[in-house]
Chains A and B, each alone.
Chain A
Amino acid sequence: MPRLNAEDPVTVRFTLDGEAVSLTVTPRTLLSDALRHGLGVNAVHVGCEHGVCGACTITIDGAPARACLALAVQVEGAELRTARSLSPGGIPGPLPAAFARHFALQCGFCTPGLLVALDAWLRRHPQADEAALRAVIGGHLCRCTGYAPILAAALAARPAYARPEAVSDHPGREEGEESS
């Protein structure tokens, strides 16, 4: 990638929820805006735009990432996943299904980010204890539920993560493995 001048259009290519995509952006285009406005991805919500609320959380190369704190130009060649990939073919996987059963969402604004973060953690730690799940949930702001149903849903979905075949088909990268 050559040096880009400010406002130079550039085409960025990456994988999104298993599909190869390309997008024309400028250097200052935030990944959150690129995904939402460039690709129509509603599974990315923008709350605070400075990394605190967690609503924009996706994974980049298997690791959770605030899309509002990434530039689109940074993800050239990367593999991105959003909450959509937790419901392949529109069929809710174990974690989204548990959210529905346990009333872990009301307005749904924080939900996609929480799903991505909890899924990423449970893939790495299928035996995750409540304290660890609370710590993951702590990285997200929810104004509706009081968090208890979110924790209940994560605990209810936990057994499914011990059985890899029950979880949708995308690799979670192990911590310590270098990102691209």
Chain B
Amino acid sequence: MKPPPFAYLRATNLEEALAALEEEGAEARVLAGGQSLLPLLNMRLARPRLLVDIMHIPGLAGLTREAGALVVGAAVRQAELEAWPALPRTLPLLARLLPHVAHWQIRSRGTVCGSIAHADPSAELPLALLALEGEVRLASRRGRRSVPAGAFFLGPLLTARRDEEMIEAVVFPLHRPGQGYAFTEVARREGDFALLALAAVATAEEVRLAIGGVEDRPRLLRLPPARASGFPAALAAALASLTPRGDHHAPASYRRAVLAALAPRIIAEAEACRA
């Protein structure tokens, strides 16, 4: 369980990293915190020719407020965001959800953007980005583009990031008055990968329910407001539209049953804490 050989570049600026990604394309992998990439390398599930270490690029390590949103740079560790003093007040969903990401020992090294780039179907941070309707900012030598969360996660460990691009930052919209949030996940042990995870955002106009671990990527259901008369039928129809997967952790029937039981509870919780 040792990694296969690869070249290593410690990029000192963004241009250097982007040039290397442009040149090597799919044969290069970005190394940030390494908490998702190193297990793949150690198990030889990935065999890149080059690792581009981005943790020493100036300007990527910041948490920046920008017009009602928080911009999280690519080098920001999960534990740093978790400890941000304004988090409970401005991003209550993340305050609820971050402690469920692996363990503190992993969050101390792993990055927010790295988890989103890795796009495990049951991961919490992609789920949060989807529920909050955030966006991913991508950079390449050809320029920059932003992809909304709803268009970013395409499949298991598969995203809209092109081979020559890296995530420069992700953007989480901040709390607006009248919104409520709830999160839960089901796992055999605290810190395990979630069998399923639910994040709900309740507003006056709608409920957004983000569902992780049920299909091969996180899914967002848009529903009427929780108190609307058509809500129960809309929720039932939306849940029925999903195709839960079965695997060696849990059969599809289990995920479907737990989803049906937890979704109304989580939505009620989000609705109740609207403020």
Residues of A near any B CB (own CB < 8 A)? 1, 3-8, 26-28, 30, 33, 49-51, 54, 57, 60, 63-66, 68-71, 73-74, 76, 117, 121, 135-136, 138-139, 175-176, 178-179
Write the nearest CB–CB distance from A51 to chain B, whole angstroms: 6
Which of the segments B5-13, B134-142, B159-167, B217-225 contacts the partner chain? B5-13
Q: Knowing A50-B42, A68-B38, say if A138 contacts B6 (CB, 8 Å).
A: no
- Contacting pair B8 A73 (CB below 8 A): yes
Which of the segments B77-85, B206-214, B226-234, B259-267 contacts the partner chain? B77-85
Q: Give the residues in chain B near A138, CB-CB below 8 Å.
A: 103, 189-191
Q: How far is the CA of A148 from the CA of B34 in the complex (A)?
A: 31
- Contacting pair B109 A66 (CB below 8 A): yes
- Contacting pair A70 B10 (CB below 8 A): no
- Contacting pair A65 B108 (CB below 8 A): yes
- Contacting pair A64 B104 (CB below 8 A): yes
Q: How far is the CA of A175 from the CA of B189 in the complex (A)?
A: 25
Q: Give B18-47 as 1s and 0s: 1 = Cβ < 8 Å from A's Cβ atoms.
A: 001000000000010011001101110000
Q: Give the residues in chain A near B80, CB-CB below 8 Å.
A: 175-176, 178
- Say whether B2 faces chain A, with CB atoms less than 8 Å apart: yes
- Say whether B241 faces chain A, with CB atoms less than 8 Å apart: no
- Contacting pair B6 A28 (CB below 8 A): yes
- Contacting pair A139 B105 (CB below 8 A): yes
Q: How far is the CA of A26 from the CA of B8 in the complex (A)?
A: 9
Q: How far is the CA of A76 from the CA of B8 in the complex (A)?
A: 13
Q: How far is the CA of A178 from the CA of B83 in the complex (A)?
A: 12
Q: How far is the CA of A26 from the CA of B199 in the complex (A)?
A: 43
- Contacting pair A63 B189 (CB below 8 A): no
The 9 closest A-B pairs by CB, nearest first: A139-B103, A6-B5, A27-B8, A175-B83, A69-B38, A50-B39, A63-B108, A49-B1, A139-B105
A-B pairs with beta carbons under 8 Å apart, 28 shown: A7-B5, A28-B6, A49-B1, A50-B38, A51-B38, A51-B39, A54-B105, A60-B109, A63-B109, A64-B105, A66-B35, A68-B38, A69-B34, A69-B42, A71-B8, A71-B51, A74-B31, A74-B55, A76-B10, A136-B104, A136-B105, A138-B189, A138-B190, A139-B106, A175-B79, A175-B80, A176-B84, A178-B80
CB contact between A66 and one of B31, B77, B99, B105 (< 8 Å): that residue: B105
Most A C-beta atoms less than 10 A away, residue of B38, B49, B83, B190: B38
Q: Knowing A50-B1, A74-B53, say if A66 contacts B6 (CB, 8 Å).
A: no
Write the nearest CB–CB distance from A2 to chain B, whole angstroms: 9
Q: How far is the CA of A57 from the CA of B80 in the complex (A)?
A: 19
Write the nearest CB–CB distance from B29 to chain A, whole angstroms: 12
Write the nearest CB–CB distance from B50 to chain A, whole angstroms: 8
Q: Knowing A69-B38, A176-B80, say if A3 contacts B7 (CB, 8 Å).
A: yes
Q: Which residue of B lies closest to A3 (CB)?
A: B9
Q: Give the residues in chain A near B102, CB-CB below 8 Å.
A: 139
- Contacting pair A176 B83 (CB below 8 A): yes
Most B C-beta atoms less than 10 A away, residue of A28, A30, A54, A70: A28
Given contacts A138-B190, A175-B82, 9 further A-B contacts (CB under 8 A): A28-B3, A33-B2, A60-B109, A63-B79, A64-B109, A71-B34, A136-B104, A139-B102, A139-B191
